[in-house]
Chains A and B, each alone.
Chain A
Amino acid sequence: MTGCVMLAAVNFHTMLFYLFAILACGFAIGVVLADNVVRMALYLVFSLGATAGLFFLAGAEFIGAMQLMIYVGGTLVLLVFGVMLTAQAPFVSIKTSTGDRVLAGVVAASLLALLLQAALSVDAWRRPGLGEVGPPAATPIGTALVGIRVDDPPGAPAAGVRSGYLLPFEIVSVHLLVVLVGAAYLARAKRRRTARAIEVAASVEPAAEPRLRSTGAGAASALAQGGVR
């Protein structure tokens, strides 16, 4: 019985908000601090997933679902593929120098102080939410995307005609098509030039500098070959 009373007293919304907020922020900081690129990708998955939880808590269930499907399911799979394709031993963890780290810490602290000062300076934003539950958002979003508004912004005075999002929707559609074609063209299967680039670099600077400084020459010759072919 006592357990039931205590359970009822728990503010689940606030508790879950803090859980997801700590997860999102903690893993975002983990992405910054990690040196291993595979770990960075994993932390990013967790951070974006926790952000989807925050979206659900804010009552934006459609955006939360899209976040999970497009970001975590699509973009991150893409990034992980990139990590796997380029994760040769020397590139898995490229260290940042200590001076850069210190400078980045100073810049981050001042930027965070500025943003927090701006975020906390408006009183209306600091009042706790009224907990007003809106209607499911999927239908208004869908109709707004084809240009018909059926929603009513809460708290706003009765407005006249609000514009829909048909034109941005079309622009984004064409943009996605262009991106699809462009990405497929850029990443199409080619003869691998990795070995070739190393070979050219070695022949231009024979054993003087094994750091591949002159791979630009390799790239240029590869480009020239591509042009001839």
Chain B
Amino acid sequence: MSGLGMYGSAFPSPVPILAMAGGDGVSVAHYLVVGAILFTAGIVCMAVKRNALGVLMGIELVLNGANVNFVAFASPYLRGQGAVALGIDGQVIALFVILLAAAEAAVALAITLNFYNNHATVDVDRADNLKG
């Protein structure tokens, strides 16, 4: 029976940050940690990428991180003792976020292609026509 403890109820977290969320099973806090990491990665991606498409991908990551939080708070499966789950509300809002992300990607991509056609580059540092 060696090895039972490894995958038993006290499953050790392979990620130190996730271990901070504590507990035996998966809790809402585990999902919040994942959402925070996705959000931070998206913010950094938006800030440092010089390719306009890289900035778009950062926006997708940020929206996705927010969606992870919405779904976690909505989930009856992850709801701990004495807490309240959002239920369907959180899932509907996550659905709206996905739809708006798709719409945003379509328009932003069209703008990027126009920028590429006019400036012959996708480097956002070159988009300084309005600089005073």
Which residues in A have some Cβ–Cβ distance to B below 8 Å? 2, 5-6, 9-11, 13-15, 17-18, 21-22, 24-25, 28-29, 31-32, 37, 40-41, 44, 47-48, 51, 54-55, 57-60, 62-63, 66-67, 70-71, 74-75, 78-79, 81-83, 85-86, 90-91, 94-96, 100-101, 104, 107-108, 111-112, 115-116, 119-120, 122, 124-134, 137, 140-141, 144-145, 149, 151-156, 165, 168, 172, 175-176, 179-180, 182-183, 186-187, 190, 192-194, 197-198, 212, 215-216, 218-219, 222-223
B122 in contact with A86 (CB, 8 Å): yes
Other than the given A41-B53, A85-B116, A128-B25, 17 more pairs (CB < 8 A) read A15-B11, A58-B78, A63-B98, A91-B51, A94-B123, A96-B49, A111-B40, A119-B32, A120-B33, A124-B80, A124-B82, A127-B82, A132-B76, A155-B82, A156-B87, A183-B110, A212-B120
Q: Tell me how far the C-beta of A27 lies from the nearest C-beta in chain B, rounded to whole angstroms.
A: 9
B98 in contact with A71 (CB, 8 Å): yes
Cross-interface CB contact of B57 among A13, A31, A129, A192, cutoff 8 Å: A31
Q: Which 9 residue pairs spanning A and B have beta carbons closest together?
A: A127-B80, A153-B87, A119-B32, A128-B25, A186-B110, A115-B36, A59-B77, A129-B78, A187-B110
B33 in contact with A119 (CB, 8 Å): yes
Chain A contacts for B103, CB-based, 8 A:
175-176, 179
Asked, given contacts A62-B91, A126-B22, A179-B103, whether A82 binds B17 with beta carbons under 8 Å apart, the answer is no
B116 in contact with A6 (CB, 8 Å): no
B25 in contact with A14 (CB, 8 Å): yes
Q: Taking each of A10, A94, A175, which has the highest tally of chain B beta carbons within 10 Å of its own beta carbon?
A: A94
Chain A contacts for B49, CB-based, 8 A:
94, 96
A62 and B90 alpha carbons, distance in the complex (Å) = 12
Q: Tell me how far the C-beta of B26 lies from the nearest C-beta in chain A, rounded to whole angstroms.
A: 5
A60 in contact with B100 (CB, 8 Å): no
A104 in contact with B61 (CB, 8 Å): no
Q: Tell me how far the C-beta of A53 lies from the nearest C-beta in chain B, rounded to whole angstroms.
A: 11
From residue 95 to 130 of chain B, which have CB atoms closer than 8 A to chain A?
A: 95-96, 98-103, 105-107, 109-114, 116-123, 126, 129
A116 and B39 alpha carbons, distance in the complex (Å) = 11
Q: Tell me how far the C-beta of B30 lies from the nearest C-beta in chain A, rounded to whole angstroms.
A: 7
A22 and B18 alpha carbons, distance in the complex (Å) = 10
Chain A contacts for B74, CB-based, 8 A:
58, 60
B13 in contact with A125 (CB, 8 Å): no
Cross-interface CB contact of B27 among A86, A125, A219, cutoff 8 Å: A125
A100 and B125 alpha carbons, distance in the complex (Å) = 13
Chain A contacts for B118, CB-based, 8 A:
193, 197, 215, 218-219, 222-223
Q: Taking each of B8, B41, B83, B98, which has the highest tally of chain A beta carbons within 10 Å of its own beta carbon?
A: B41
Cross-interface CB contact of A186 among B78, B94, B107, cutoff 8 Å: B107
A198 and B8 alpha carbons, distance in the complex (Å) = 65
Chain A contacts for B112, CB-based, 8 A:
82, 86
